[in-house]
Amino acid sequence: MENMTKVPVHVSMIMDGNGRWAKERGKERVHGHFEGVESVRACVEAALETGVKYLSVFAFSEENWNRPEEEVLALMGLMVKAMAAEMKSLDRNGVRFIVLGNRSRLSRELNAEIDSCMEMTAGNEALTLIVFLSYSGKWDILQAAKKMALDLLEHPEKRNAVEKMGVEGFESYLVTAGIPDPDLIVRTSGESRISNYMLWQGAYSEFLFVDTLWPDFRKEEFRKALESYAKRDRRYGKVK
Ligand code: IPE
Ligand code: IPE
Ligand code: MG
């Protein structure tokens, strides 16, 4: 991208405002979710064009299971459809597709679709698209701690290694192991909160809160977000 001096490696989106977008148009909430898929496609294209290597999107939180059953079912159905519809084109464009979250809560049908998409695109390198599904930051840290505890129970000889473990060692238990922390987290729809997203991984992320509702967040908004990021001064606690 022209004038783009600092391109973030990993951009993450808290995709919010689908329901309000639909309501503004006198439509059911699900129409907003439907239109939101178009925004994901636009952001994938923009990421490929600008050289962003990881694009992640928060699609469904652990807390979102508490929504009315009808909306949850509509969202899950939409995920299956969107994955089936988009995968060939993602693959053609060199996109590796990954889903992270509490997959034990997802339906067999959705899990099968996810497996097939992940297998199909596993070797792609242009961009990694991560969909966070049934994910929450506290859940991630908790499942990591449990995995570590169980690992230690099974292999007591690891005690010394666990005692000496640093941040990176613990990160290998998080579902995001191997994925760089997000450089930029964008939240749409005017809400200024993190809603239990990437609590660990976002420790030093730059945040951008925009009023745009997710279904209206397209290429131009993506590019603007990157421009805002390029102006940030990341100090990591040091003096510059
Ligand atoms: C984001 O849009 C999509 C999900 C959280 C699944 P919302 O559905 O939260 O839309 P608003 O915030 O009610 O407008
Ligand atoms: C955050 O949006 C979760 C996702 C974008 C998937 P919500 O709409 O669920 O967040 P709250 O409830 O307003 O905090
Ligand atoms: Mg919302």
Residue 4: predicted pLDDT: 58
Residue 240: predicted pLDDT: 83
- Measured in Å, residue 158 CA sits from the centre of ligand 3 at 43
- Contact yes or no for 60/75 (Cβ under 8 A): yes
Which residues have CB atoms below 5 A from the ion given as ligand 3?
16
- Contact yes or no for 93/126 (Cβ under 8 A): yes
Please choose, from the candidates 55, 49, 46, 42, the residue with its C-alpha nearest in 3D space to the C-alpha of residue 11. Answer: 55
Residue 183: predicted pLDDT: 98
pTM of the entire structure? 0.97
Ligand nearest 56 Cα, by number? 2
Active-site option among 64, 93, 102, 111: 64
- Measured in Å, residue 19 CA sits from the centre of ligand 3 at 7
Which of 13, 16, 61 should be mutated for ligand 1, with most atoms under 8 A from CB? 16
Active-site option among 3, 16, 115, 211: 16
- Measured in Å, residue 62 CA sits from the centre of ligand 1 at 13
Average pLDDT over residues 141-165: 97
- Contact yes or no for 133/105 (Cβ under 8 A): no
Q: Is the pLDDT of residue 223 over 80?
A: yes
Q: Is 64 a catalytic residue?
A: yes
Structure tokens at 16: 């919010």
- Measured in Å, residue 127 CA sits from the centre of ligand 1 at 26
Average pLDDT over residues 209-225: 98
The residue whose C-alpha atom lies closest to atom 12 belonging to ligand 1 is 17
* Rounded Cα distance, 226 and 240, in Å: 22
Which atom of ligand 1 has the smallest separation from the CA of 23?
Answer: 14
- The residue whose two tokens read 């449990």 is 146
Q: Is the pLDDT of residue 3 over 60?
A: no
User: For the chain, what is the mean pLDDT?
Assistant: 97
- The residue whose two tokens read 């010394």 is 160
Tell me: domain 10-135+180-229, CATH 3.40.1180.10, correct? yes
* Rounded Cα distance, 187 and 172, in Å: 26
Average pLDDT over residues 184-193: 98
Average pLDDT over residues 208-216: 98
Ligand nearest 33 Cα, by number? 1
**Domain assignments of the chain as residue spans, ordered by start:** 10-135+180-229
Q: Is 18 a catalytic residue?
A: no
Residue 1: predicted pLDDT: 47
- Measured in Å, residue 15 CA sits from the centre of ligand 2 at 8
Which residues touch 14 (CB under 8 Å, ≥6 apart)? 58, 185, 186, 187, 188, 194, 195, 197
- Contact yes or no for 223/50 (Cβ under 8 A): yes
Residue 198: predicted pLDDT: 98
pLDDT tens, position by position, 4-48: 579 999 999 999 999 999 999 999 999 999 999 999 999 999 999
- Contact yes or no for 232/183 (Cβ under 8 A): no
Which of 43, 62, 64, 185 should be mutated for ligand 2, with most atoms under 8 A from CB? 64
* Rounded Cα distance, 240 and 238, in Å: 6
Residue 5: predicted pLDDT: 72
Q: Is the pLDDT of residue 2 over 60?
A: no
Amino acid at 199: L
pLDDT tens, position by position, 102-132: 999 999 999 999 999 999 999 999 999 999 9
List all residues whose CB is within 6 A of at least one atom of ligand 2.
Answer: 14-16, 58-61, 64, 191, 193, 195
* Rounded Cα distance, 137 and 119, in Å: 26
DSSP strand pairing (95-100 vs 54-61): unpaired
- Contact yes or no for 226/4 (Cβ under 8 A): yes
Position 169 confidence tier, pLDDT thresholds 50, 70, 90: very high
